[in-house]
């Protein structure tokens, strides 16, 4: 089959988070299975390259799509300042549509998927001739109160995302949460949403189980408010002298903040890094490892005994599944798709969102089970690796596009 993926984020140039992780894993697994795969993504300059068996089309953004007409000229500065997420999403959707219409004939493909960030498939071109590809919209991102700053921007983003979903033949989500609470309730779409777990690109390196300690805590994610790093730091502060011997390692980007809550989160984190805090006086260690390429990420997971996901909002986090595959016990906030991953006691424990005192209790419990937890995670890790083996992931992806897609009636 000939399959296209429309994804603004794609590594290594625009590997921002879970969307890029999904797009790369899906494209490479399908290409490995013998299918012709094209990815249209954002990039600083026009470029078409063959990358790990995938034809990658990097497309620079068009000029921002401001409202047309002279009456709107005085409001352009306000528009850019007030609606930054929406303006970028709208511009990318139009950029991708123009590229597809002029450089790639979508009708020559069997299927096109857009791993939805913010409506990037809203203007998907019809293509030429009688062939029509199956359009699959995989909804990852939810535009909720904790994501966009103001009501107007949220409503515009929801409308753009809803438009993309309505253009698709099939809606897919990686989690029950996104399929139900978000797609059906928030977007107000009364259509069937197929839950199809995201594929993972795992590592073949053996796990060094002897190195794992529950005192080695790992946080993987951006340093920003909605990821909840401030909640984790407060929990460790609450432990007081009991935090002696704990090391918290933070792995992820720390982008220049654009929201006041992110400014406070970064300041709180930087203050803790200097050691001029209660936590510093009690002696737990805080390491900032910065961002890490996926190929080397397993080393952090193998060091950690416990992976903590203190998010205030979450969809279906890759880090949780990757951590489980490397034997990390999970402590996760009870939001979004996290409970679907921590769905049994052997995988980890949940705590109420933004409840640092409850998280501190869970960390205490893990410390008391120092050698028991790593030993119990061997079977869990093996099960996750089997579930997300390349062959199993490729099969689930193909099931998304439907049986006998290449031979189906195009009329």
Tokens of 124: 């998907």
How far apart CA 172 and CA 175 sit, in angstroms, is 9
Phi, psi (rounded to 5 degrees) for 75: -100, 5
| Residue 67's pLDDT band (cuts 50, 70, 90) | low
Q: How far, CA to CA in Å, does 71 sit from each of 17, 66, 68, 76, 155? A: 38, 12, 8, 10, 23
| Residue 411's pLDDT band (cuts 50, 70, 90) | very low
Mean pLDDT of the chain: 87
pLDDT, tens digit, for every residue of 390-399? 889 888 888 8
pLDDT for position 409: 38
pLDDT for position 94: 93
The b/e string for 333-345 (b: 16+ C-beta within 10 A; e otherwise) is: bebbbbbbbbeee
| Residue 410's pLDDT band (cuts 50, 70, 90) | very low
pLDDT for position 407: 46
| Residue 285's pLDDT band (cuts 50, 70, 90) | very high
pLDDT for position 191: 86
Burial degree of 55 (CB within 10 A; 0-12, 13-18, 19+): middle
How far apart CA 236 and CA 329 sit, in angstroms, is 17
| Residue 93's pLDDT band (cuts 50, 70, 90) | very high
pLDDT, tens digit, for every residue of 24-58? 999 999 999 899 999 999 999 999 999 999 999 99
Identify the residue with better confidence: 409 or 180: 180
Residue 338 has pLDDT above 80, yes or no: yes
How far apart CA 85 and CA 124 sit, in angstroms, is 20
pLDDT for position 98: 94
pLDDT for position 83: 83
Residue 127 has pLDDT above 60, yes or no: no
Question: CATH number of 209-387: 3.40.250.10, 1.10.357.10, 3.40.50.2000, 3.30.420.40?
Answer: 3.40.50.2000
Residue 59 has pLDDT above 60, yes or no: yes
Percent of the chain residues past pLDDT 90, beyond the cut: 55
Residue 252 has pLDDT above 60, yes or no: yes
How far apart CA 366 and CA 376 sit, in angstroms, is 12
How far apart CA 58 and CA 47 sit, in angstroms, is 5
Mean pLDDT of 110-139: 82
Domain limits of the chain?
Answer: 2-201+390-407, 209-387
- Angle 372-387/318-325 helices, nearest 10 degrees? 110
Fold equal for 2-201+390-407 and 209-387: yes
pLDDT for position 281: 52
How far apart CA 71 and CA 33 sit, in angstroms, is 54
Residue 272 has pLDDT above 80, yes or no: yes
- pTM for this model (two decimals): 0.84
Mean pLDDT of 303-307: 97
Tokens of 409: 């009636």
pLDDT for position 408: 42
pLDDT, tens digit, for every residue of 221-241? 999 999 999 999 999 999 988
The b/e string for 187-207 (b: 16+ C-beta within 10 A; e otherwise) is: bebeeebeebbbbbbbbeeeb
pLDDT for position 310: 97
Under CATH, which number does the domain 2-201+390-407 receive?
3.40.50.2000
Residue 246 has pLDDT above 80, yes or no: yes
pLDDT, tens digit, for every residue of 353-381? 999 999 999 999 999 998 899 899 999 99
pLDDT for position 57: 97
Mean pLDDT of 321-325: 95
Identify the residue with better confidence: 77 or 395: 395
């Amino acid at each position: 089959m000939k399959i296209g993926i429309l994804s603004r984020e794609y590594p290594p140039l625009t590997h921002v988070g879970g969307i890029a992780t999904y797009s790369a894993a899906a494209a490479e697994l399908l290409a490995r299975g013998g299918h012709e795969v094209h990815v249209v993504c954002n990039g600083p300059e026009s470029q078409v390259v063959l990358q790990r068996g995938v034809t990658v089309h990097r497309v620079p953004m068009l000029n921002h799509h401001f409202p047309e007409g002279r009456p709107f000229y005085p409001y352009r500065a306000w528009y850019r300042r007030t609606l930054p997420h929406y303006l970028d999403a709208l511009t990318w959707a139009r950029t991708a549509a123009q590229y597809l219409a002029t450089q790639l004939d979508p009708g020559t493909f069997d299927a096109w998927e857009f791993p939805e960030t913010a409506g990037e498939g809203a203007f998907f071109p019809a293509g030429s001739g009688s062939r029509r590809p199956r359009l699959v919209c995989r909804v990852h991102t939810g535009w909720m109160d904790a994501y966009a700053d103001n009501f107007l921007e949220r409503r515009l983003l929801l409308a753009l995302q809803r438009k993309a979903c309505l253009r698709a033949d099939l809606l897919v989500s990686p989690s029950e949460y996104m399929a139900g609470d978000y797609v059906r309730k928030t977007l107000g779409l009364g259509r069937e949403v197929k839950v199809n777990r995201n594929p993972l690109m795992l590592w073949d390196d053996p796990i060094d189980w002897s190195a794992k300690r529950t005192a080695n805590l790992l946080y993987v994610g951006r340093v920003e408010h909605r990821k909840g790093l401030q909640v984790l730091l407060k929990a460790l502060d609450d432990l007081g002298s009991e935090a002696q011997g704990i090391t918290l390692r933070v792995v992820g980007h720390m982008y220049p903040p654009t929201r006041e809550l992110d400014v406070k989160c970064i300041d709180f984190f930087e203050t803790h890094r200097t050691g001029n805090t209660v936590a510093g006086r009690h002696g737990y260690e805080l390491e900032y490892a910065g961002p890490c390429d996926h190929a080397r990420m397993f080393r952090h997971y193998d060091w950690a005994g416990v992976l903590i996901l203190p998010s205030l909002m979450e969809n279906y986090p890759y880090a949780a599944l990757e951590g489980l595959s490397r034997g990390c016990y999970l402590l996760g906030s009870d939001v979004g798709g996290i409970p679907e991953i921590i769905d049994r006691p052997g995988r980890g424990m949940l705590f109420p969102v933004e409840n640092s005192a409850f998280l501190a209790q869970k960390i205490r419990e893990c410390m008391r089970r120092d050698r028991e937890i790593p030993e119990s995670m061997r079977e869990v890790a093996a099960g996750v690796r089997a579930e997300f083996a390349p062959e199993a992931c490729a099969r689930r992806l193909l099931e998304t596009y439907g049986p006998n897609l290449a031979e189906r009636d195009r009329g």
